[in-house]
Amino acid sequence: MTGIGTAVLDGQPDPRIAFVFAATPSPRWLLSPQLPARGRVFLPVKTEPALLAAELFTTLATRAGLALPAAQAGALPTGAREIARVESAPLADVIEKMLDYSNNLTAELVGLATSRALTGQGLTLAASAERLTRWWREQLPATSFRGFVAANHSGLSATTRTTPRQLGAILRHGLAAPAALLPALLEAHDPDAGTGEPAVRAKSGTMHYADGLVGLLRAPDGQERGFVILLTDARQHGHYFGMVLIE
C-alpha cells in the first residue's frame, strides 16, 4: 500500500502479536522481531476491514494501559446499539487526502461507498467494482469499454485492464459534469491557477512493471488539455505504450 511502510518492533512483544499499527507522521506497521526473516506477512489493510479495525483498537488500548486478547474479526452481536458515532470528513477532503498520500485503502472505501449509494446495499469489492464499471458504461455510451476490467477500486490487481482512451473519457466526464468534484480539487492544488503559467496537475499509478499518469496540462497560452499515459516494461510484461490527449 503506497504511503505506508514497515519497521521492526523494539524489544520482545507478546508472542501472539505479529504486527501493530503505528500512527506516526508517516504511518507504519511495526512487525514483530520474532517473524521469520523471509516470507509474507498479511496486513489487513484492504480485504479484512473488520480485522484492521480490531488491530487498531488493540493498539490504542495497549497504549492506554489496557491488556486485550489478540485481535480478531467478529460479527455484530444481536441487539447491539450505537453509543457513539464519528462522521468522516466531507468527501472532497477525503479524496484530497487520498490523492495527496496515494492511499489505496481510501480509494477502495470511496468506491464501496459509491456502489452503496447506487444500489442501496453493501457489496463485495468485486461486485462493487463491476457495478461502477456498469455505471461508467451507462454514462459514456459513445466510448468503447471493450476489454475494460476493474477488479477493485484502487487498480491494485494484475487482472485490471484499461486503455488510455477509456481513462481519457472518464477524465473528460469528470471535468465536464455539473458541480463536478474534480475541477474543484484540481484548482485547490494549483497555485498558478488564473496566472497563465504552465502547469501539470496529475496523479500517478504504479504496479509491478507498469506505470500510469493521468491529469491536466495547461499550456503557456492558458489552454488546458487532459492527458493519459500508460506504460509497461517491455522485457518483463510485453511492450506497451499508450497515450491520449484530451481537448
Q: What pLDDT digit, counting tens, does each position of 133-188 carry?
A: 999 999 999 999 999 999 999 988 888 899 999 999 999 988 887 555 666 666 66
One domain, residues 187 and 247:
yes
DSSP 8-state assignment for residue 69: P
- Gyration radius of the chain over CA positions: 21
CA distance 178 to 105: 27
User: Do 228 and 241 belong to one domain?
Assistant: yes
Joined grid coordinates for residue 199 = 502547469
- The total number of structural domains in the chain stands at 3
Does residue 224 lie within any of the structural domains?
yes
pLDDT digits (tens, 9 = 90+) for 75-134: 888 999 999 998 989 888 898 888 888 888 899 999 999 999 999 999 999 999 999 999
> Which one of 36, 53, 86 terminates a domain?
86
Question: Residue 2's pLDDT band (boundaries 50, 70, 90)?
Answer: very low
In a domain, residue 234? The reply is: yes
Whether residue 172 is contained in a domain is answered as no
Residue 156 shares a structural domain with residue 107: yes
120 within a domain of the structure (yes/no): yes
- Those residues whose C-beta lies under 8 Å from the C-beta of residue 198, and which sit 6 or more positions away, are 192, 217, 218, 219, 220
d(C-alpha 245, C-alpha 213), whole Å = 12
Work out the percent of the chain whose per-residue pLDDT is above 70.
Answer: 74
DSSP 8-state class, residue 157: S
Task: Output the DSSP codes for 76-139.
Answer: PPTT-------PPPPHHHHHHHHHHHT-HHHHHHHHHHHHHHHHSS---HHHHHHHHHHHHHHH
- Structural domain contains residue 166: no
Per-residue confidence (pLDDT) for residue 127, from 0 to 100: 95
Nearest to 33 by CA among 47, 18, 44, 16: 18
Structural domain including 29 reads: 1-86
Same domain, 59 and 112: no
Domain match, 113 and 184 both: no
Residues 6+ apart with CB under 8 A from 216: 175, 186, 200, 201, 202, 224, 225, 226, 227
All three cell numbers of 200? 501539470
What are the C-alpha distances in Å from 247 to residues 107, 167, 172, 221? 27, 14, 9, 14
Q: Has residue 12 been placed in a domain?
A: yes
* Strands in the chain per DSSP E: 5-8, 19-22, 28-31, 199-207, 210-218, 224-232, 240-246
Residue type for 138, please? E
In a domain, 82, yes or no: yes
User: Is the residue at 168 inside a domain?
Assistant: no
pLDDT for residue 217 is more than 90: no
Domain shared by 118 and 197, yes or no: no
Q: What is the pLDDT of residue 190?
A: 65
Query: How far is 119 from 114, CA to CA, in rounded Å?
Result: 9
pTM, 2 dp: 0.68
Q: Are residues 206 and 227 in the same domain?
A: yes
pLDDT greater than 60 at residue 4: no
58 and 139 share a domain?
Answer: no
Residues 190 and 234 in one domain: yes
Are residue 7 and residue 81 in the same domain, yes or no?
A: yes
The Cα diameter of the chain in Å comes to: 63
Decide if pLDDT at 246 tops 80.
no
When pLDDT is averaged across residues 46-51 and rounded to a whole number, the result is 70
Q: Which of 102, 132, 161 represents a domain boundary (last residue)?
A: 161
For residues 8 and 25, membership in a common domain is answered with yes
Instruction: Please give the mean pLDDT across all residues of the chain.
Output: 81
Same domain, 157 and 97: yes
